[in-house]
Amino acid sequence: MKNQTCIIVEDEQLAIDLLLSYVEKIPFLSCAGAFPNAIEAYSFLYENSVDIIFVDIDMPGMKGTDFVKSLRRNYKIIFTTACEQSALEAFELNAIDYLTKPIEFNRFIQALNKATLYNISTSENKTNAGKLFIKVDGKIINISLNEILYIQGMQRYTQIFTKNNKYTSLTSLFKLSEHLPKDKFLRVHKSYIINIDNISCIEGNMIKINNETIPISKGKKDQFFKDLDENIDILYL
């Protein structure tokens, strides 16, 4: 996936500064501009292309929701708002997420994860395999979803096993699962989520992935095989 560019449409300078500070912490995200109103942002987008738009719902003049309705192409929209009651209107416009002020960094990361996993139905995004941003040892790590073999949940942390690395995160297995595509990542055990694209073989209650053996729990077995059958073609000989 190519690096992501964004713009910020926000009439409060403090909110702009905060979002810019968050963007600077993400290695694969850059800000192409910050605009105090929708008109200036619209003029910029007329001649420039971006991936993600952070836009305040309640701005003087043209509201953020009206601005989004006026756009001529699809963008990944993340609304910001001081009022949670505005969230319903945001989701009616198919926004990726909404962030309530004051915006916390963890919520910013969650919204960004949703944006990177979301495929807009345009030709340039059809090959987007998806990324996962996680916080590891004070750094934000960008992991390609295709590289993930399986994820193991421990008592107080989670380990993400990829083809070449292992990452340890304090994010819970449940929270990680919320940011993974359900058709590719299946829960096979209370402690394991697997990437079905990297399964070597399944034998009984065990799954082989990259020479590692993952157990299928009794309580998850029926649902796992049902989900597997729905998402891949199994040839029974």
> Among the CATH numbers 2.40.50.1020, 3.40.47.10, 1.10.490.10, 3.40.1160.10, which is that of 131-231?
2.40.50.1020
Task: Give me the CATH topology for the region 4-125.
Answer: Rossmann fold (3.40.50)
pTM of the model: 0.54
Mark 35-58 as b/e (b = at least 16 C-beta within 10 Å): bbbbeebbeebeeeebbbbbbbbe
Residues 207-228 have pLDDT tens digits of 999 889 999 999 999 888 888 8
pLDDT at 123: 35
pLDDT at 74: 77
> Which residue bears the tokens 């891949």?
232
Q: Pick out the chain residues at pLDDT < 50.
A: 1, 120-129, 235-237
pLDDT at 130: 75
pLDDT at 80: 94
User: Any idea where the domains of the chain sit in the sequence?
Assistant: 4-125, 131-231
d(CA 71, CA 45): 9
pLDDT at 121: 39
